[in-house]
A = this chain, B = another copy of it.
Amino acid sequence: PEGLVSSAEELNAAIENAKPGDVITLANGTYSDFEIKLTGTGTSEQPIKLVAQEKGKVFLEGQSNLRISGEYIHVEGLVFRNGFTPTSEVISFRTSKEDLCNNCRITECVIDNYNPSERFESDYWVALYGKHNRFDHNYLTGKRNQGVVLAVRLATEGSRENFHRIDHNFFGHRAVLGSNGGETLRIGTSHYCESNSNTVVESNYFYKCNGEVEIISNKSGQNVFKGNTFFESTGTLTIRHGNEVTIENNFFFGNGVANTGGIRIINAKQTVVNNYLEQLRGYRFRSALTVMNGVPNSPLNRYVQVTDSKAENNVLIDCDHVQLGVGNDEERSAKPERSSISNNVFYRKSGGKLFSAFDDMSGITFAGNIVNPGLEPFQQDGFVSKEIEFEALDSGVKIPLNTPAGDSIRAGIELMATPENTGVTWYPRVQDEQFFGGGKVIEVKAGENTLWEAARNSAPGDIIRLTEAGEYLQTKSVVLTHPLTFEAAQGLTEKPVLTFQKTSLFNIENGGGLTLKGVRVDGKECRDKPLNAVIQTSRYSMINNYKLLIEDCDFADLDINHSFNVLRVAKNTMADSIVLRNSRFENISGSVLALDRETDDIGIYNAQNVVVDNCLFDDIGQEAILVHRGGRDESTLGPMVSITNSTFDEIGGDKRNGTGSSVRLHGTQVVTINDCIFDDSKPLQLHLVVGEPVVNIMNSVFSGGTTIEDNGEPYNTSGLQLNLTEPIT
């Protein structure tokens, strides 16, 4: 093919000599540690092109990246995988601070799980600089470290009012990051948010983009978002900064997934029209439609008051929340002014209360909005209640008939992003989530290292079945590099007993996960030294989130020395979920769950969901459960903690208990404690900060001197019995 090159030397020579109309063809193959710096000047008719010899057969791996600058450059068909960028960006539309791109296009490229091993070594996958560039039909999936997937940067004059076009990309699954910096798109930064970007984001598909509360963070003016589809993404399209932004004809499908959100409005002169939002479950900042309160005379990095904005002709079907004046507090006291909410359709089959207001909303004019009978309108004025009929389109969109909103949605359907009209056709869509089960069953007997051996020979999703009672002594740590289930066979007379001699019994390494069912773990064989643990995560940063499920298990006599934990995690590791169910934890010198390693207090934490149900904790030296999220960041949905039907008895008495609590929840966002007993224990400590955490402590008994300590922030209690001498028997 034309201009075929297959090495850095050949490529650089070709770039050096490139004239308008030249095509440089990168030969099929895998290129490692390959940094492409493509500078040139093409013309509108005769761009300089860099293309893959065959799409899907040219791979950039290791520490590779791509930087382009100049005019009319076109790059097509590259795949980045198995590595990460050595610089701060994988694809950059500049080659230095001064050398930017204009009128360039990157199309049909793939970036697949191209992450460093360090979660908080941040980078961008794509950074747009310059003007009039296009980034289209690319497939970006599996970003797991900190930093947005695609950023439009406005740092210099040459990058503002850029009229970039970002279209028909498929943004694949982005796992929960557990920190700020998990956005998929960011247009601008708060430093330059008074500038206009004039970027068009059109017909992109966002598939489970769950990194943090902002799927898209708009931080500049005059951008347009249209025709984008948001599929089960737990966040919102947020106009965080910048004015005169248009959000039209976008499609949000929450499918009832918790924390799925819609559109959040801040700042002035915003236009939010013709959007379709269905089955979104988010509340507060993540509501289907959120209008924020602002800070009077807000500094740039805070919240500018909503003024002169409109939300019109939007259709909301079976969503949970529309919230207005959100964030109202002493600082954010400026309510929306000169704005309107009109001609929207608010439908919820189950009726009830959809709207909340946290301040006086007289600055918003309401007109022509329709609600279905049974759904409580926000107010009388501007709302009519009537039966609404729908036409279900093939695309899954339901058009409310005989409404202006319905007509507007229908008119915009042709823009709608779908998995088929976005990304590339020639690269497989990657399934990025971790699942247990689905593999083969490996039967093991009692004895030395039988679990270790089985794990070593396992494949993802395998089930390792302990077929007899008796002792399973592990002299080596069982290493989990993929999800595995260890379970007792049905019908055993006693639980199999797991003992171990290394610092830990199970090591969850990056990519690993553990389900443990029906076994007893005993610490009697452990080495006489502090800091043993039944389960520990990799002591390195884990770029993949993991899952841990413990069911019908007993943990006993983990006390050969101090600070013996059931689970010990490392800094920069993140559990999607940790579930303890129907299990007993007795005579343990350390903690059961110590999720407290993010001590930098910048909003990072170690687990998204912690669920404890029907468990007994008895005689635990340090905190039974410790969850810590420090700092004042509001970018995350978690940690979320549920503790139900459980008993805590004699917890936390060890002198090494640093917090002096039995259970400590610091900075958690959602807490449910229901039907629990806390007896003869150190206090339950609630340290509630930022994000208006939703905390309910219900139907529980506190006895034998066990108290609740809080930091003065509000939370809900009901049905508590406090200051009992003995728990009710």
Contact = CB atoms under 8 A, between A and B. Distances in A.
Interface of A: 86-88, 96, 118, 120-122, 181, 189, 191, 448, 475-476, 501-503, 527-531, 539-541, 563, 571-572, 599-602, 656
A599 B656 CA distance: 12
A606 B601 CA distance: 21
A122 B88 CA distance: 37
Contact of A527 (B88, B448, B527, B599): B88
Contacts of A600: 530-531, 563
A601 B657 CA distance: 12
A contact face: mostly helix, strand, loop, or mixed: loop
Contacts of A475: 87-88
Contacts of A571: 571
Contacts of A530: 600, 602
Given A531-B602, A541-B539, A599-B599, A86 B448 contact: no
Contacts of A501: 87-88
A152 to B, nearest CB: 16
6 contacts: A87-B502, A88-B475, A88-B527, A121-B502, A531-B602, A539-B541
A572 B501 CA distance: 21
B87 A503 contact: no
B602 A476 contact: no
A527 B563 contact: no
Contacts of A602: 530-531, 563
Contact of A540 (B88, B448, B540): B540
Given A563-B600, A600-B563, A602-B530, A122 B539 contact: no
Give the 10 A-B CB pairs with smallest separation, nearest first: A87-B475, A86-B476, A540-B540, A88-B501, A530-B602, A87-B476, A121-B503, A118-B539, A88-B502, A531-B600
A530 B191 CA distance: 16
A63 to B, nearest CB: 8
Nearest to A530: B602
Contacts of A191: 528
Contacts of A476: 86-87
A328 B572 CA distance: 45
Nearest to A191: B528
A85 to B, nearest CB: 9
A86 B600 CA distance: 33
A191 B560 CA distance: 12
A285 to B, nearest CB: 22
A475 B97 CA distance: 11
A600 B572 CA distance: 17
Given A189-B528, A539-B540, 16 more contacts: A87-B502, A88-B475, A88-B502, A88-B527, A96-B448, A120-B531, A121-B503, A122-B503, A181-B529, A191-B528, A530-B602, A531-B600, A531-B602, A563-B602, A571-B571, A601-B656
A527 B86 contact: no
A528 B301 CA distance: 13
Contacts of A448: 96
Given A448-B96, A599-B599, A122 B541 contact: no
B122 A529 contact: yes
A121 B503 CA distance: 7
Given A539-B540, A540-B539, A571-B571, A527 B87 contact: no
A527 B87 CA distance: 12
Contacts of A531: 120, 600, 602
Contacts of A189: 528
Nearest to A118: B539
B118 A527 contact: no
Contacts of A541: 539
Most buried by B among A120, A530, A539: A539
A86 to B, nearest CB: 5
Contacts of A120: 531
Contacts of A539: 118, 540-541, 572
A600 B528 CA distance: 17
Contacts of A528: 189, 191
A472 to B, nearest CB: 14
A475 B189 CA distance: 21
A564 to B, nearest CB: 13
Nearest to A123: B502
Contacts of A503: 121-122
Nearest to A525: B97
A510 to B, nearest CB: 12
A572 B448 CA distance: 30
